[in-house]
Amino acid sequence: MQIGMIGAGRMGANMVRRLMHGGHTCVVYDRDTRGVNQLANEGAVGAQSLDEFIGKLKPRRAVWLMIPAAAVDGTLEALNARMQRDDIVIDGGNSYYGDDIRRASELQRFGLHHVDVGTSG
């Protein structure tokens, strides 16, 4: 399975490593390219921009967010313009549950699926 990970910090990077160890292909993007470059050296597919990230994912895309809660809305807004109907967004951050309900409704209008899998570090 191919999965895209936005967020190559400690939690996101370790999730990518575990996914790759399980045989999955991971495309990785982060505004800070150091984590992306490290994961690319370990076998992930790195992307230097959000457009490049989306372009490297095969439709029906699955994009996992491991970013701070404050960055989720802006990232989702940027993804809405780039993703296609039936693509999947998985939010792995610690967002307030009410925000996740709102985001799921907003993404549904674009034909995108939202999965909330809040994790605690």
pLDDT in tens, 75-117: 999 999 999 999 999 999 777 888 889 999 999 999 999 999 9
Is 121 a residue whose pLDDT tops 70?
A: no
The dotted CATH code for 2-116 is 3.40.50.720
Contact call for residues 19 and 40 (beta carbons, < 8 A): no
Mean pLDDT of the chain: 94
Q: Which token pair is 12?
A: 């996101």
Boundaries of every domain in the chain: 2-116
pLDDT in tens, 40-58: 999 999 999 999 999 999 9
